[in-house]
């Protein structure tokens, strides 16, 4: 029997609607697009915000940074702001290939840049655990909270 408060995959508890855990997790490019849009609305137009995977406008920026291994999903670079190297990961990636995520973020270490791992809200705790295994500091943010860093 279905509990009377459960309606269409959501439950009303204490006046709040709690979405069922069966909700589809966001795809990588959806997370990246949301992250990009948050950053774009948080910075001035003269800040470089190149993104990978066809997200954002081609603003002439580069995702290739001398001295790092690999290619991050998003780079934020400008005068008088905190420069960021952002890697976006899905819940599945964190669960299925944690060592790969750690190694990738590890390779993005570069003086003058803050490394950021952006994940879905429900995966923040897992990502924070992985970030502890990376040499140096790594910020863990959601697509909506990453704007706090710029």
25-149 CATH: 3.40.1350
Alpha carbons 31 and 118: distance in angstroms, whole number: 8
Q: Is the confidence at residue 16, as pLDDT, over 50?
A: no
Axis-axis angle for helices 124-131, 98-106 (nearest 10): 60
Which pTM was predicted? 0.79
How far is it, in rounded angstroms, from Cα 149 to Cα 21?
29
Q: Is the pLDDT of residue 30 over 60?
A: yes
- Which residues neighbour 31 within 8 Å (Cβ) at sequence distance 6 or greater? 88, 89, 90, 118, 119, 120, 143
Write down the mean pLDDT value for the chain.
82
């Amino acid at each position: 029997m279905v509990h009377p408060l459960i309606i269409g995959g959501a439950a009303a508890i204490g006046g709040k609607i709690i979405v069922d855990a069966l909700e589809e997790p966001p795809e990588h490019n959806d997370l990246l697009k949301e992250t990009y849009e948050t950053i774009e609305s948080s910075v001035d137009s003269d800040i470089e915000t190149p993104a990978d995977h066809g997200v954002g406008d081609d603003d002439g920026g580069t995702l290739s940074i001398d001295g790092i291994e690999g290619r991050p999903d998003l780079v934020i670079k400008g005068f008088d702001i905190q420069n960021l190297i952002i890697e976006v990961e899905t819940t599945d990636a964190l669960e299925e290939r944690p060592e790969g995520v750690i190694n990738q973020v590890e390779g993005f270490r570069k003086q003058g840049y803050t490394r950021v791992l952006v994940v879905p809200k429900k995966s923040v705790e897992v990502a924070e655990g992985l970030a502890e295994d990376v040499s140096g500091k790594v910020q863990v943010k959601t697509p909506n909270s990453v704007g706090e860093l710029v």
